[in-house]
Amino acid sequence: MAVYSRTPLAFERGEGARLYTTDGEAYLDCMAGIAVNALGHANPKLVQVLKEQAEKLWHVSNIFTIPGQEKLAKALTDATFADEVFFTNSGTEAIECAIKTARKYHWAKGQPERIDIIGFDGSFHGRTLAAVNASGNAGYLEGFGPPMPGFVHATFGDLEGLKALVGPTTAAIILEPVQGEGGARSWPDADLTAIRQLCDETGTLLIYDEIQCGLGRTGKLFAYEWATEAQPDIMAIAKALGGGFPVGACLATAEAGRGMVVGSHGSTYGGNPLAMAVGEAALAELVKPELLGHVREVAGYFTQQFAGLKERYPDVVADIRGRGLLMGLKLNTPNREFMQHARDQRLLIAGGGDNCVRLLPPLNLTIAEASEAIEKLEAACQAARARAKAAA
Ligand SMILES: *Cc1c(COP(=O)(O)O)cnc(C)c1O
């Protein structure tokens, strides 16, 4: 189906932060499959684990015990607020599970009327019907029938407005601690703490979508750890969890997960042995304090360099946003054009809402590679300036 606007660039191989086209051209990858290839392309450890598992067992039904699931679930619950995990193949399925878990919780507590999920403008939760209804992005909903009941929308940053929306039919609030597609917009820690309090006062569940901002991206294993008093009840993760192999998960506390009993949910492929083996190996790397420290160091370097770019090219760079290595530049020139200027320099960056470009490099990007990215961005800024002048 013609659902993608594709750039005519085809890659045949990758190594670390480099991608090579079918005709041998090397690109510096600062989008990493949109925060997926967090450990770089063809990471030797992940390749080895995948090969070994491929020779043993790919798939068995979830009617059997799957030791790999138990191991990865234990690693995830040890590292987070959560007690329980459901494995999926993608981010949007993890969101589906989170929404179902929240509604089922209230149902199990004898409050079946509590079905409303409150989402925020600029959010992105994936493309299944429940996920597009939760984010409320009109462009993603149009033509797919009437908006589904049970979804309510709030304005990012407007805590008073949010309070007014919470009522007797509210089930949960869903948010990305750092919005990804919305343009690298980070929630202030104090706001998350206030939202957590609001949830506690009203018996509302708090769902975090850390599909993009989680798993080391912000310099903590999960972005919610920056707001020390704002743990979620339910959390969806995916992307970096498999380092490129499709795997996602919905995490919950035992209390929030109480409605999810035998028969409540399921998946054929979710938690298959191949995904679990790679996920376990990827997570073992992502939890390492050295890697998280490295993310903070490289992010600090980028932030400093971005400030210089903004100073030298105020006509191009309007604002610097994001957290850790989920970075956004809000532009004064069209972001799609800027992405092409970057590609002309053999640099791959992502777009984002609010006329942003996003940088989401592999987390093990070196400072030398980061410095190379800045040089290429500088050249892209010059090209954007020249283009704006020529058009004026
Ligand atoms: C990518 C993403 C999703 C959807 O994940 P898929 O694997 O594409 O279904 C959901 N939420 C956020 C924040 C994302 O970045």
Structure pTM?
0.98
Distance, CA of 101 to CA of 253 (rounded, Å):
11
Q: CA 364 → CA 36, 140, 143, 296, distances in Å? A: 13, 33, 41, 11
- C-alpha angle with apex 69: 219 to 40, nearest 5 degrees? 40
Q: What is the pLDDT of residue 9?
A: 95
Burial grade of 20 (CB within 10 A; 0-12, 13-18, 19 or more): middle
Instruction: Give the tens place of pLDDT for each residue, 237-274.
Output: 999 999 999 999 999 999 999 999 999 999 999 999 99
Instruction: Give the tens place of pLDDT for each residue, 332-349.
Output: 999 999 999 999 999 999
Mean pLDDT, range 351-372, rounded to an integer = 98
Q: Which CATH superfamily is domain 11-30+314-391 in?
A: Aspartate Aminotransferase, domain 1 (3.90.1150.10)
Rg of the chain in Å (alpha carbons): 21
Measured from the CA of 246, which atom of ligand 1 is nearest? Answer: 7
Q: What is the pLDDT of residue 332?
A: 98
**Cα 183 to chain center, whole Å?**
12
Tell me the best of 37, 89, 92 to mutate to test the pocket of ligand 1, counting ligand atoms within 8 Å of each CB and taking the most: 92
> Can you tell me whether residue 283 is helix, strand or coil?
helix
Contact at 8 Å (CB) between 329 and 376? no
Catalytic residues: 124, 209, 239
> Can you tell me whether residue 254 is helix, strand or coil?
coil
Measured from the CA of 210, which atom of ligand 1 is nearest? Answer: 13
Residue limits of CATH 3.90.1150.10 in the chain: 11-30+314-391
Architecture of the domain made up of 44-286: 3-Layer(aba) Sandwich (3.40)
Task: Tell me how far the alpha carbon of residue 5 lies from the centroid of ligand 1, in angstroms.
Answer: 18
Distance, CA of 377 to CA of 282 (rounded, Å):
30
Tell me, using a 6 A CB cutoff, whether residue 72 lines ligand 1.
no
Q: What is the pLDDT of residue 32?
A: 98
Instruction: Give the tens place of pLDDT for each residue, 90-131.
Output: 999 999 999 999 999 999 999 999 999 999 999 999 999 999
* Closest Cα to atom 10 of ligand 1: 125
Q: What is the pLDDT of residue 89?
A: 98
Q: What residues pair up with 326 in beta bridges, in sequence order?
A: 323
Instruction: Give the tens place of pLDDT for each residue, 181-222.
Output: 999 999 999 999 999 999 999 999 999 999 999 999 999 999
Q: What is the pLDDT of residue 140?
A: 93
Contact at 8 Å (CB) between 107 and 119? no
**Cα 107 to chain center, whole Å?**
29
Tell me, using a 6 A CB cutoff, whether residue 92 lines ligand 1.
yes
Residue limits of CATH 3.40.640.10 in the chain: 44-286
